[in-house]
Structure 1
Amino acid sequence: MENGLKNLTIGAFGKAAGVNVETIRFYQHKGLLPEPARPYGSIRRYGKADVARVKFVKSAQRLGFSLDEIAELLRLEDGTHCDEASRLAEHKLQDVRAKLADLARMEVVLSQLVCACHARQGNVSCPLIASLQGETSLATSAGDRLGRAMP
């Protein structure tokens, strides 16, 4: 397969990189991937470096980096700007930690609501539905907590 990564059509390139053709075109439009020249009367061809670049973008996305942040990382990809890359990663880590804290708060509220559902007796309205409609004090406190937690 290594030799086959030198002269790829866009379809073969997408398959080698694990993305669809629309993703490649989108990355080109966003400036994340250069668009190769089209020889007169021919089609564009892609190579190993293009495949590696798309895989880099996909790896960064899996870590939660936005396309703008990935563009910045690509600018630093020669490996000589470790301090700048580290600052970007530190900022992303702070974002992830904030999201984890938000999720933990959401877990507490949902757990309380599930417990309230299981504890209900008689012909009363569902505590979960009532809380989402803002009819109970649990809903008010949950909404307040979640409202502060959500961006």
Structure 2
Amino acid sequence: MMRIGELGKKADCPVQTVRFYESEGLLPEPARSQGNFRLYDDAHLQRLLFIRHCRAKDMTLEEIRQLLSFRDRPERDCGEVNALVDSHIAQVRTKMKELRELERELMDLRRSCDTARTSRECGVLNSLAEHA
């Protein structure tokens, strides 16, 4: 058994984040010591690491909740897991497209200021002010 600080350290996760995942129902409520300290076991650590891996892949809490429900019931069909991941891939592709467009806009904005010497002449500042 370990306390919340040790769990956080092992999972490279701030204590506040552990508490947040508990409040969201992603981590089950831990046992309590006689002094009312939270006591976590290896199952909590493994679940927290799973959540952290999902978050590193930019999955939402709802997506993680769904994946955990499949993980908790291993007899279920994996097709729904694949569908969830396929949906996430589509979201990532959309974000990538939006980020490429943002990059182009920023590059155009930057080029607007290639010859300016002062902030008054700055094409970036003037362009942003025009669109405000």
Q: Which residue of 2 aligns with 1:93?
A: 89
- The match for 2:78 is 82
Q: Which runs of 5+ in 2 are unaligned?
A: none
Q: Which residue of 2 aligns with 1:104?
A: 100
* Among candidates 116, 124, 131, match of residue 127 of structure 2: 131
Question: Which residue is 1:68 aligned to?
Answer: 62
* Paired residue secondary structure (1:104): helix
Tell me the equivalent position of 1:13: 7
Measure how far apart 1:30 and its partner are: 0.3
Q: TM-score, normalised by structure 2?
A: 0.84
What is the CA-CA distance between 1:119 and the residue it aligns to?
Answer: 4.2
Q: Which residue of 2 aligns with 1:51?
A: 45
Report the residue type matching 2:4 in the other structure.
I
Amino acid at match of 2:67: L
Q: 1:115 to 1:8 in 2, by over 3 A?
A: same
In the aligned structure 1, how far is the partner of 2:38 from the partner of 2:122? 60
Q: How many residues are treated as equivalent by the alignment?
A: 130
Segment drifting more, 87-96 vs 54-63: 87-96
Question: What are the ranges of 5 or more consecutive residues in structure 1 without an aligned counterpart?
Answer: 1-6, 144-151
Identical aligned pairs, as a percentage? 33
- Measured against aligned partners, the alpha-carbon deviations of 1:76-118 in whole angstroms (never above 9, x if no partner) come to 1144432111111111111111111111111111111212211
Aligned-residue offset at 1:39 = 5.7
Q: How far, CA to CA, are the matches of 1:85 and 1:99 in structure 2?
A: 21
**Is the 2:7–2:40 Cα contact (8 Å) retained in structure 1?**
yes
Which residue matches 1:4? none
What is the DSSP-based 3-state SS (H/G/I as helix, E as strand, rest coil) of the residue aligned with 1:70?
A: helix
Aligned partner of 1:146 in structure 2 is none
Cα 1:121/1:84, change in 2 over 3 Å: same
- Point out 4+ residue stretches in structure 1 off by more than 4 angstroms: 39-42, 119-124
Cα distance in 2 between the residues matched to 1:88 and 1:15: 30
Which amino acid counterpart does residue 33 of structure 1 have in structure 2?
L
Q: TM-score, normalised by structure 1?
A: 0.74
